[in-house]
Chains A and B, each alone.
Chain A
């Protein structure tokens, strides 16, 4: 009896079995409704198969059934973390097809809103990352700071999360009294907290050990795999749509493109931190340079609005990379075809499995959040 047990034990020890492990959607290490099927041997991942579709709503189909203005509540829900860039890209495409020029002041306000949205998104990302790795204090701070931005948005637009503030022809309404001071106050507050964030999170030795050399991408690979955003910038490529093809007021403000050379998770999070500082710089310059004037160019009655035949591809730099929209109109009052090129689609479905190969199970969430994969953006 004992001998039988011993042989069994022995066999079990020498034979490493390949197992299939379901990671998500209900998993504490998973951010968002997304799942990955891992083939593991011991702790090492042999293969990772992302399994999206838990959030698929068929937006692009539904938008074909609604008129141009009705689609605004839709586009912002594609990406819950940063809805403003979605609104902006759709508004830009509609403006281009309908040939609408927006007032100068609206451009500045849009820039401020987009950058505030980027800050909120990066703080959310910092929360997710810190929370994932067990740094609870900076996680709480980041979420509380994000809430201040949501309060600002609430004052400006009436909504905490979804704003529907950017419309074709400009923005919905002008800045309320004293809004600029509140934004400045918030930015100064955030900047004064930066040393604390550095100490507890970004330059924390434990965090460094945890994120360094994890999910490493080489520069050539990043270009070949069509990475954008921080994933590309963390490998040392200076690539930013805001510089390449400036939209709104980005050509009138000065800012840098932060880069790092290593291409690992730690570099990506440092790029995110530096980007937050650049965002603050942009907002301050916009507030300083903002001209007076109207903020909204009248557009036709939305129920009768027909947009001339045509197609366009517009792109903005969202907080996770290049966000593009391919919009086709056939002259009707609804879009003929809408296709969003979202950064997470490529990062989450193509780059993530490549990085997970050979990593350990404990690093799945680590790599996934450092790539900044947002599940609803993949599924649409």
Chain B
């Protein structure tokens, strides 16, 4: 089944690489433009569950990598569909039309990495309140510096050593 699927994908999508890094895992590397059609194709092939969307910040290459994790029921094959997008003004198409539960994952990535998803109606902050700094999961955000700047500046009200 796996080899057949690989042949099918490579036949339809010319600029796509398919690899098997280990048993039961398949990596599909594709371009930003064809992500929607490839996900739709995979959904028709039986990969009906979107498990998660991960994002990796490759700061040296100035790129974000988005990984869509798909899995079918009752088959051990797990597919990771990868696209790379520019780090500056990061923006990509939403996949809400294909997988409805992408909503929350896209919202999370928008908040933590600052990737914009065109067409997603709700990209409001999920975890953080009043956040004015860089998106925290980016590699150039220094959390230790932020802690020093924010929390350590606030003075104590009482002397801790005074009371025992």
Contacts and interface: CB of A to CB of B under 8 A. Distances in A.
Contacts, number: 84
25 contacts: A53-B125, A53-B128, A56-B128, A58-B136, A58-B137, A58-B143, A61-B143, A65-B143, A226-B49, A226-B50, A228-B49, A237-B73, A244-B74, A245-B24, A312-B25, A315-B78, A326-B67, A326-B69, A337-B56, A339-B55, A345-B52, A349-B104, A349-B126, A350-B100, A350-B101
Interface string A308-342: 00111101000000101010100000001101010
Contacts of A336: 56
A104 interface: no
A324 B73 contact: no
A52 interface: yes
Contacts of B100: 224-225, 350
Contacts of A326: 52, 54, 67, 69, 80
A100 to B, nearest CB: 14
Contacts of A224: 48, 100
A238 B74 CA distance: 8
Contact of A350 (B25, B54, B104, B144): B104
B27 to A, nearest CB: 9
Nearest to B67: A326
A350 B103 contact: yes
A253 interface: no
A312 B22 contact: yes
A313 B136 contact: no
Q: Which 8 pairs between the two chains have the least Cβ-Cβ distance? A: A53-B127, A341-B52, A56-B127, A339-B54, A226-B49, A349-B104, A245-B76, A337-B56
A96 interface: yes
Interface of B: 21-22, 24-25, 48-52, 54-57, 67, 69, 73-76, 78, 80, 99-101, 103-104, 125-129, 136-137, 141, 143-144
Contacts of B75: 244
A326 B71 CA distance: 14
A374 to B, nearest CB: 16
Nearest to A351: B101
Interface in A256-312: 310-312
Interface in A239-262: 239, 244-245
Contact of A313 (B80, B127, B129, B137): B80
A328 B56 contact: yes
Given A244-B76, A326-B52, A326-B80, 10 more contacts: A53-B129, A61-B141, A62-B143, A226-B51, A237-B73, A311-B21, A313-B69, A315-B78, A322-B51, A339-B54
Given A225-B101, A341-B69, A61 B78 contact: no
A346 interface: yes
B146 to A, nearest CB: 10
A280 to B, nearest CB: 26
Contact of B74 (A65, A239, A345, A346): A239
Nearest to B111: A53
Contacts of B69: 313, 324, 326, 341
Nearest to B144: A65
Interface-central residue, A65, A228, A244, A322, by most chain B CB under 10 Å: A244
Contacts of B141: 61
